[in-house]
Amino acid sequence: MKRVTLTQYLIEQQRSAGTVSPELRLLLEVIARACKMISHAVGKGALAGIGDVVGTQNVQGEAQKRLDVVANEVLVEANEWGGQLAAMVSEEMDEPHLIPSRYPRGQFLLLMDPLDGSSNLDVNISVGTIFSVLRVPDGCTSIDEKAFLQPGSKQVAAGFTVYGASTILVLTVGSGVACFTLDKELGSFVMTQTGLAIPADTGEFAINVSNMRNWEAPVKRYIDECLAGKTGAREKDFNMRWVASMVADVYRTLSRGGIFMYPRDAKHKDGRLRLMYEANPMAFIVEQAGGAATNGRQRILDIQPGALHQRVGVILGSRNEVERVTRYHLEK
């Protein structure tokens, strides 16, 4: 079989679909190169103390692991000098990082969760990097937080990696979803799936059930119906999966269907996951694969963000199931 590398795929998209400008292609290649470095570091595991707590907290008040900090530095350093970006924001940085004046400034903005699922690092469970690319708004001359506050529907590209048994990169530039696997000997991402399509129906759900007592009624109703299986209203059995690394849970959902939920609840009043670094890029990818993504009431990609680090409830995956949960919320 002919091997198509990430570079070839992007050049092809540039030529045929017109969705990738040369600047965007370079940016995505630099992000992918940084992810290879992070993959290498994750692979060293305890030998490099990747899961050690470093004694600092991120803006969300979460304890940072050594690799949270390293992954953030790798991505910032790799993307600073290329000339494609005007600024970057990250789950691990309080404020936007503007491109230093010694480098040319580009037309794109990068948003990233350098190491999603890092609470799983010390137990050797898959983690990953999530990223989203926006354009600098027209007429915007000085970049600050406001430049980033665009709804997810404005994303020009989004992707995520999973550093698991193999390292994979899932990417959309707005014309479907492709998946690449890292050939560690050659050091290149090779396309292993294209035109990813999430089945509209599913028999598998993913949710942190320890939050059950805090759920809102529509979520409780949906999960109760799944648990009732063949004997309940749905008249079919469901299975449950929960990795607690969003990247791994969403990749499974993309690969074989399913519904992934981290809804808002009495404890997480605004939701648990971050709109700009987690929900928006994943929603873009899931929609491009024919699935759906809402916060229970509204399409995630339509939400107008009010702050960089804002959180949101997330329900995404197989279209018919996401529409059902959303309907339960709206009926209420």
Q: By CB under 6 A, name the binding residues for ligand F6P.
A: 116-117, 119, 208, 244-246, 262, 273
* CA dist., res. 171 & res. 132, Å (int): 10
Strand partners, 167: 163
Shortest distance (Å) from residue 243 CB to ligand F6P: 8
* CA dist., res. 173 & res. 157, Å (int): 4
Shortest distance (Å) from residue 283 CB to ligand F6P: 14
Closer CB to ligand F6P, 249 or 287, in the complex: 249
* CA dist., res. 58 & res. 91, Å (int): 7
Place of tokens 């690319």: 133
Closer CB to ligand F6P, 72 or 188, in the complex: 72
Residue 115: both structure tokens together: 């190491």
Task: Please report the DSSP string for 19-43 in residue order.
Answer: ---HHHHHHHHHHHHHHHHHHHHHH
Closer CB to ligand F6P, 278 or 287, in the complex: 278
Closer CB to ligand F6P, 222 or 251, in the complex: 251
Shortest distance (Å) from residue 262 CB to ligand F6P: 6
Shortest distance (Å) from residue 75 CB to ligand F6P: 17
Q: Do the strands 167-172 and 157-163 form a parallel or antiparallel pair, or are they unpaired?
A: antiparallel
| Residue nearest ligand F6P (C-beta atom) | 246
Closer CB to ligand F6P, 272 or 329, in the complex: 272
Q: Comparing C-alpha atoms, which of 41, 170, 206 is closest to residue 115?
A: 41
Shortest distance (Å) from residue 278 CB to ligand F6P: 6
